[in-house]
Structure 1
Amino acid sequence: MDIVSPEKRSRMMAGIKGKNTKPELVVRKLVHGMGLRYRLHRKDLPGSPDLVFSRLKKVIFVHGCFWHRHPGCRFAYTPKSNTPFWLEKLEGNMRRDTLTLAALDALGWQVLIVWECEVSDLSALTRKVRLFLEVDH
């Protein structure tokens, strides 16, 4: 049983952003601080990646652990109410992600997924992003 009314839950869910999220802003600031420049949400690429490095032919997606089902993450839980709806919704997100990654791979793009829970450890995140982008700084 949900602890808030259906109307309030609907307003809460409608307020969740898909672009310019706090985790995405952390990654953008980190990459910018490395001296790298990027494009945002290129609609001509499958999945409209969050950060696009055209010259390197690399993209970064910043995924929410809940919405994209981060394996083993405590934030990737299944809601207790309306469970069939949520399972269908979240599994649909995962199927779409799989198709997006395959399409980008077919176009010759390399992909890095940064999970929402990873942005709290900036040193580990910096290493991960540097390794992916091969930044020597």
Structure 2
Amino acid sequence: MTIHNDRQPVLRVVPGPSDINANGHIFGGWVLSQMDIAAGIIASRRANGSVATVAIEKMEFLAPIHLRDLISVYATVERVGRTSMGVRIEVIATRDRGATHIKVTEGLFTFVALDEQHRPRPVDAA
């Protein structure tokens, strides 16, 4: 697992009781939502404007998230094309009062930069 001592997470969230599935773990959809929010923040900054999620590539759930885990979501722009960019997301769960750090999922989210009419525009054209 990568330890991120050199950078700050885009989001830090503690899931609540309403986020639990029948197995007592956090819903995958809740985690996906947090990842999309973090990726969107980073993509919007890079595009200097509005963006839309257009694809999620190879997302794998590596370990469950438990109630009261502190979830840290890290995001990095991995590639930039003409109108799109790929944002790598990694989610780390911290438990046992900070003693344990577990990588729970990661994925590559693709975003398209949007103009005022919500059509694709060049990433570097603000």
TM-score by length of 2: 0.29
The structure where helix makes up a greater share of residues is 1
Structure with the higher fraction of residues in strand conformation:
2
Bigger RCO (CA 8 Å, 6+ sep) = 2
Structure ID, larger Rg: 1
